[in-house]
Structure 1
């Protein structure tokens, strides 16, 4: 019975580590944009949404 709990604990730890890696990767991707690039993308998305709403 001890062996089962050991593996469950290891699997949980691996899941936490994998989640941390995904969060760190996403954060690096977000920080790669300059404020001007973010603003331009937001304006582009707004224009696309407005155009889609008119159709």
Structure 2
């Protein structure tokens, strides 16, 4: 019975950790302005053009 208890605790900890990672990522994305996104996309496009 103790094994199931520890597996449950580990599962809850995993779900909580995943939630923290998702929340942190969402916070980063919400701070980026549309102009910054556009500039990054243009930079990526320029890099791929140089490689090809």
Aligned to 1:48: 47
Task: Give the paired residue count.
Answer: 52
- TM-score, reference length from structure 1: 0.89
- TM-score, reference length from structure 2: 0.94
TM-align CA RMSD: 0.6
Q: State which structure, 1 or 2, has the greater radius of gyration over its C-alpha atoms.
A: 1
Moved over 6 A (4+): none
